[in-house]
Copies of this chain bind each other. A is one copy, B any other.
């Protein structure tokens, strides 16, 4: 501007009109069109999801025979076409994958690997690293194994593991009808508080694992760019399941140590209104009870107040109840389904995520469950199960086990007892050396505080400590702020249900060096 105006003054002598036209047009070109063009150029190379990425590098055009498989060059559409139209030349471009796939790879590249290479083994690698970072449940697997051994046979005519009848057809992929019926009844026992609430098989969709159920539900509730509120700390799986392909945003709702990381209607309201002010479209609140990594179990009053909040604001409530069968003996689990029974709230905005991977410990069976009162969600999800059906053979094996109510009740009692004992063992050991931990009422894990071992209160320092504990002390924990979006660095998740007693003892011994006042 400052240049153009004086220039204009100088030049307007004779051909004022001509210059008056040319100058603003030129200025317009340089000020408006050029930036826009380069923006368009940039936009061609990016998608909404990819905008978080650094701008793509120029494509490499090389004469080659063997592909460089690990290159990260991106192929822009123009270049693709240029190369394509010269179909007689042998100059080809290196194969690339899509930007969205690259983005997923990049987002994993800084991931703290959950399976250390130097795994502990009592016999073969007694100084190896003990894996306490993954929330798995091996405490009651023997009960499942025994039941299957005693009840299934390969004798034709019996309840058998070999009936291939159900395997040959394209049956309803969202779960065999008979298995959905059995599963609904099972849910009534486990999450319905011993059938205080009943579940309807028509509202059940079975998916290949929990992630598929979450992804599918979020796809059905939100458009790309819409947001979901999740109280922190939360399971890093949500970042993958919700953002990766479905491109929905997560708005973390900060909860803090002074409150034992409890979520309240107040927390949610603040985060919600702040999101609206930023112009976001919030579609749902996602709650976990018992929560990972803390182990908080939501009580009736809290659930009721949050349900009212979502109802009044016409947003969805997703209740992740995948650890429902893992509460400690002296605690009482309440499902959102039970609150809904005595509520005036709109059921079609309430959905439960469940699965057998935690309560039964059968991760590999790949049985996730979406339970929704919204029949449009059920209809759309049924269509989407073409991408994530659970083996009907596995369903067939599980059906009689889940239907055996007497076994299920015994199993749950024993599972509660074993989990409680494990938790007690861990907190007793931590208490003995003065390591702090969050209060919890359920789950396969303990949320411990090692902030006193950090040189400064930062995520980087937490990651350093986590790596040190893994590599130098031989215990693999989950770092809270980098893996669970915890707003306060220094918290770690210790999963106590994936190893045997002896191994857990060794891990707890190793961790003693992290006690306050001890030089680790």
A43 to B343, CA, bound (A): 37
> In the complex, are the beta carbons of A316 and B376 less than 8 A apart?
no
Name A residues whose Cβ lies closer than 8 Å to a Cβ of B: 1, 4-5, 8-9, 12, 14, 16-21, 23-25, 27-28, 31-32, 47, 50, 64-65, 67, 69-70, 75, 77, 80-81, 83-85, 87-90, 92-102, 104-105, 108, 114, 134, 136-138, 141, 144-145, 148-149, 152-154, 156, 161-162, 164, 166-171, 173, 208-209, 211-212, 215, 219-226, 237, 240-241, 244-245, 269, 272-273, 276, 281-283, 309, 311-316, 344, 346-349, 361-366, 373-377, 379-380, 383-384, 386-394, 397, 498
CB-defined A-B contacts under 8 Å, sample of 29: A1-B31, A5-B23, A12-B17, A64-B346, A67-B349, A67-B374, A70-B376, A83-B313, A83-B314, A84-B276, A87-B269, A87-B312, A95-B316, A98-B223, A100-B219, A101-B380, A108-B383, A138-B168, A141-B167, A145-B162, A149-B156, A168-B364, A171-B364, A208-B389, A209-B386, A212-B387, A364-B391, A391-B394, A394-B394
Shortest A37–chain B CB gap in Å is 13
Q: Which of B12, B169, B363 contacts A167 (CB 8 A)?
A: B363
CB neighbours (8 Å) of A156 from chain B are: 149
> In the complex, are the beta carbons of B136 and A375 less than 8 A apart?
no
CB neighbours (8 Å) of A152 from chain B are: 154, 161-162
> In the complex, are the beta carbons of B149 and A97 less than 8 A apart?
no
Shortest A228–chain B CB gap in Å is 12
Shortest A81–chain B CB gap in Å is 6
CB neighbours (8 Å) of A212 from chain B are: 208, 387-388
A27 to B24, CA, bound (A): 12
Shortest A283–chain B CB gap in Å is 8
Query: Which chain B residue lies CB-closest to A220?
Result: B101
A16 to B11, CA, bound (A): 13
> In the complex, are the beta carbons of A136 and B168 less than 8 A apart?
yes
Query: Which chain B residue lies CB-closest to A134?
Result: B170
Query: Which chain B residue lies CB-closest to A23?
Result: B21
CB neighbours (8 Å) of A365 from chain B are: 167, 391-393
CB neighbours (8 Å) of A168 from chain B are: 136-138, 141, 361-364, 498
CB neighbours (8 Å) of A25 from chain B are: 24
A9 to B20, CA, bound (A): 9
A374 to B12, CA, bound (A): 64
Shortest A39–chain B CB gap in Å is 12
Contacts A69-B374, A98-B222, A376-B70; is A314 near B93 (CB within 8 Å)?
yes
Shortest A26–chain B CB gap in Å is 10
A389 to B209, CA, bound (A): 7
CB neighbours (8 Å) of A81 from chain B are: 276, 281
A393 to B99, CA, bound (A): 34
Query: Interface centre among A70, A102, A344, A366, by most B CB within 10 Å?
Result: A366
CB neighbours (8 Å) of A12 from chain B are: 9, 12, 14, 17
A274 to B7, CA, bound (A): 42
A sample of 17 more A-B contacts (CB under 8 A), given A21-B21, A208-B208, A393-B394, is A1-B24, A4-B5, A19-B20, A21-B23, A50-B223, A80-B282, A80-B283, A84-B313, A92-B312, A101-B219, A104-B384, A136-B170, A152-B162, A153-B154, A208-B366, A208-B389, A237-B386
